[in-house]
């Protein structure tokens, strides 16, 4: 077995034993420091770092037991292994030393082979322990660095969202004034429509960034109340009508009018529906079929909503990343459509904050079906309905 080299402190009041140990250890390329009693040993330990201590028991000023008691009290020293060198016939003393924290013992005068084997075994354990400690410290340092970087990123997102809001609303106001300045020709109208479209996209992005920073700082809140989900589905479908027409899609709503009320936040539910229905429209080639279905699940005391499209679908190997922040498929058809990869991450968080569940199934090239459930208002506790709910980041 390969022999290790360490820095070893030999503590013994007997000069002959000290010399024997020094020679034997130096033959094995260890670095040896010597102390003649316990007190000198402790002074040396305070100034130098040792990998191992060979300790006599019976010594003047401070004996081996007292040295071990001192070592046990100082965390940095407690890591250093101690091999006790006891006189022949003092096995009780050796046992007491092991109870006080010594790792092993040798009988005087030590047998060279036994000395080498025990020193090697103790050093091996010590070095492994040191490596583990260093690894642990490195992991902790990396964890702190990642946490700090994440915090800086969250703060940057919040700041960027905040700072972009003002110039954007100024552009929007100026843009709106153009039509009042005088009659616009068709080319000018078309250009303004393009600017408006880009403005809407930027506004949506700012809202998403704002939501991300709220989610990550634990400041996202939902106000739960009894809600008519059917009305919200119709309202959302209405707001997306322009998109449905321009893409020649057909949008079918299978939602019974006698649906019981659910427990949810009105604005956040509109956001969830807009994202899921908007994605279905966006990721379906023109002329597709989008179907929204809502079912009252009596046994689960919940409402189950599905949004089905006949669109691009999601590749099997990408499916587990779909709700991850900033994830967008690598598919060129997906990449050709505008998006940030934030919508589903926010949507999932919002559904879960409203005590719901969200999932999906999809076949690449055939279409996707997103599902979510919401608790019935009649099942929600009074506390849930009365209080704002926040999520921690
Ligand atoms: P965005 O649409 O802005 O990219 P989302 O978080 O809403 O962000 O969606 C993340 C990704 O999930 C999309 O980029 C797309 O790859 C995939 N995806 C979402 N909805 C659908 C859908 N209905 N059909 C196919 N892929 C979808």
**pLDDT greater than 60 at residue 88:** yes
Q: pTM of the predicted model, to two decimals?
A: 0.69
Which of 328, 359, 360 is the pocket-test mutation for ligand 1 (most atoms within 8 Å of CB)?
328
The reply to whether 138 falls in a domain is no
Rounded Cα distance between 270 and 236, Å, is: 7
CB atoms within 10 A of CB 215: 20
The reply to whether 133 falls in a domain is no
> Which is it for strands 302-309 and 7-11: parallel, antiparallel or unpaired?
unpaired
Query: Using CA of residue 267, residue 269, residue 273, residue 276, what is the dihedral sign?
Result: positive
In terms of domains, do 233 and 369 share one?
Answer: yes
| Predicted local distance difference test score (pLDDT) of residue 154 | 87
Q: 316 CA distance to ligand 1 centroid (A)?
A: 14
Bridge-partner residues for 79, per DSSP? Answer: none
pLDDT: which is higher, 176 or 244 = 244
Identify the domain boundary among 217, 242, 258: 217
Q: 328 CA distance to ligand 1 centroid (A)?
A: 6
| Predicted local distance difference test score (pLDDT) of residue 89 | 78
- Residues 89-116: pLDDT tens digits? 788 898 999 999 999 999 988 899 999 9
CA dihedral 143, 146, 148, 149 (to 10 degrees): 170
In terms of domains, do 365 and 239 share one?
Answer: yes
| Ligand 1 atom, smallest distance to 367 CA | 24
The reply to whether 120 falls in a domain is no
At 309, list the tokens: 């499209």
Query: What CATH number does the domain containing 30 carry?
Result: 3.40.50.2300
Identify the domain boundary among 61, 89, 110: 110
pLDDT: which is higher, 91 or 45 = 45
The reply to whether 137 falls in a domain is no
Confidence of residue 322 (pLDDT cuts 50, 70, 90): very high
| Predicted local distance difference test score (pLDDT) of residue 386 | 64
The reply to whether 347 falls in a domain is yes
Closest CA to 362 of 372, 351, 352, 371: 371
- 312 Cβ below 6 A of ligand 1: yes
**pLDDT greater than 60 at residue 392:** no
Among 83-92, 151-160, 339-348, the range with the most confident prediction by mean pLDDT is 339-348
Which of 284, 314, 369 is the pocket-test mutation for ligand 1 (most atoms within 8 Å of CB)?
314
Structural domain boundaries enclosing 50: 7-110
pLDDT: which is higher, 251 or 201 = 251
Query: What CATH number does the domain containing 148 carry?
Result: 1.10.287.130
In terms of domains, do 300 and 385 share one?
Answer: yes
* Strands, E assignment, the chain: 7-11, 31-35, 52-56, 82-86, 104-107, 220-223, 225-227, 250-254, 262-264, 289-297, 302-309, 357-363, 367-375, 388-391
| Ligand 1 atom, smallest distance to 280 CA | 23
**pLDDT greater than 90 at residue 269:** yes
| Ligand 1 atom, smallest distance to 339 CA | 3
Q: 334 CA distance to ligand 1 centroid (A)?
A: 8
Nearest CA to ligand 1 atom 11: 328
Nearest CA to ligand 1 atom 7: 343
In terms of domains, do 234 and 207 share one?
Answer: no
In terms of domains, do 239 and 366 share one?
Answer: yes
What number is the average pLDDT over the span 20-25? 94
Q: 320 CA distance to ligand 1 centroid (A)?
A: 12
Rounded Cα distance between 158 and 295, Å, is: 38
- 280 Cβ below 6 A of ligand 1: yes
Nearest CA to ligand 1 atom 25: 313
| Predicted local distance difference test score (pLDDT) of residue 383 | 62
Average pLDDT, the chain: 92
In terms of domains, do 211 and 249 share one?
Answer: no
In terms of domains, do 275 and 380 share one?
Answer: yes
Q: 341 CA distance to ligand 1 centroid (A)?
A: 7
Of the given ranges (97-106, 152-161, 344-353), which has the lowest mean pLDDT? Answer: 152-161
In terms of domains, do 276 and 184 share one?
Answer: no
- Residues 157-205: pLDDT tens digits? 888 888 998 889 898 888 888 878 888 889 988 888 888 888 988 998 8
| Predicted local distance difference test score (pLDDT) of residue 390 | 65
| Predicted local distance difference test score (pLDDT) of residue 393 | 47
The reply to whether 65 falls in a domain is yes
- 322 Cβ below 6 A of ligand 1: yes
In terms of domains, do 276 and 355 share one?
Answer: yes
| Predicted local distance difference test score (pLDDT) of residue 65 | 95
The reply to whether 74 falls in a domain is yes
Identify the domain boundary among 59, 90, 110: 110
What number is the average pLDDT over the span 313-319? 97
Give first-to-last CA distance, the chain, whole Å: 51
**pLDDT greater than 70 at residue 391:** no
In terms of domains, do 196 and 235 share one?
Answer: no
- 259 Cβ below 6 A of ligand 1: no
Q: 337 CA distance to ligand 1 centroid (A)?
A: 10
Query: What CATH number does the domain containing 263 carry?
Result: 3.30.565.10
Of the given ranges (1-15, 60-74, 97-111), which has the lowest mean pLDDT? Answer: 1-15
Rounded Cα distance between 244 and 254, Å, is: 17
Q: 346 CA distance to ligand 1 centroid (A)?
A: 12
CB–CB of 277/237 below 8 Å? yes
In terms of domains, do 229 and 202 share one?
Answer: no
Q: Tokens 């003047």 label which residue?
A: 60
Domain count, the chain: 3
In terms of domains, do 229 and 347 share one?
Answer: yes
Give the relative orientation of helices 64-73 and 38-47 as an angle to the nearest 10 degrees: 30
The reply to whether 124 falls in a domain is no
| Ligand 1 atom, smallest distance to 345 CA | 6
């Amino acid at each position: 077995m390969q022999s290790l080299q360490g820095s070893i402190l030999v503590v013994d009041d007997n000069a002959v034993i000290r010399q024997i140990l020094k020679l034997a250890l130096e033959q094995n390329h260890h670095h040896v420091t010597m102390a003649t009693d316990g007190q000198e040993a402790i002074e040396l330990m305070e100034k130098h770092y040792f990998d191992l201590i060979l300790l006599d028991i019976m010594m003047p000023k401070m004996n081996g037991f007292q040295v071990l008691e001192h070592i046990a009290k100082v965390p940095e020293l407690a890591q250093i292994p101690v091999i006790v060198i006891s006189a022949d016939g003092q096995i009780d003393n050796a046992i007491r030393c092991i109870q006080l924290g010594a790792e092993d013992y040798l009988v005087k005068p030590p047998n060279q082979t036994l000395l080498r084997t025990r020193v090697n075994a103790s050093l091996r354990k010590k070095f492994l322990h040191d490596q583990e400690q260093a690894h642990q410290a490195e992991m902790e340092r990396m964890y702190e660095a990642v946490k700090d970087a994440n915090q800086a990123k969250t703060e940057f997102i919040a700041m960027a969202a905040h700072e972009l809001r003002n110039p954007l609303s100024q552009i929007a106001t100026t843009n709106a004034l153009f039509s009042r300045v005088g009659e616009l020709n068709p080319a000018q109208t078309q250009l303004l429509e393009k600017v408006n479209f880009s403005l809407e996209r930027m506004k949506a992005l700012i809202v998403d960034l704002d939501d991300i920073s709220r989610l990550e700082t634990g400041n996202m809140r939902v106000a739960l109340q009894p809600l008519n989900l059917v009305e919200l589905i119709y309202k959302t479908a209405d707001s997306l009508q322009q998109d449905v027409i321009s893409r020649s899609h057909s949008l079918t709503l299978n939602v019974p009018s006698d649906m019981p009320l659910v427990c949810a936040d009105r604005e956040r539910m509109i956001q969830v529906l807009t994202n899921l229905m908007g994605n279905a429209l966006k990721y379906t080639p023109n002329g597709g079929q989008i179907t929204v279905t809502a079912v009252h699940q009596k046994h689960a005391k919940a409402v189950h909503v599905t949004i089905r499209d006949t669109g691009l679908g999601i590749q099997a190997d990408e499916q587990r990343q779909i709700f991850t922040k900033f994830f967008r498929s690598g598919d060129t058809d997906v990449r050709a459509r505008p998006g940030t990869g934030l919508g589903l991450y926010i949507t999932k968080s919002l559904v879960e904050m409203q005590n719901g569940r969200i999932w999906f199934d999809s076949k690449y090239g055939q279409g996707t079906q997103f599902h979510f459930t919401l608790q019935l208002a009649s099942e929600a506790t009074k506390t849930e309905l009365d209080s704002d709910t926040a999520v921690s980041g």
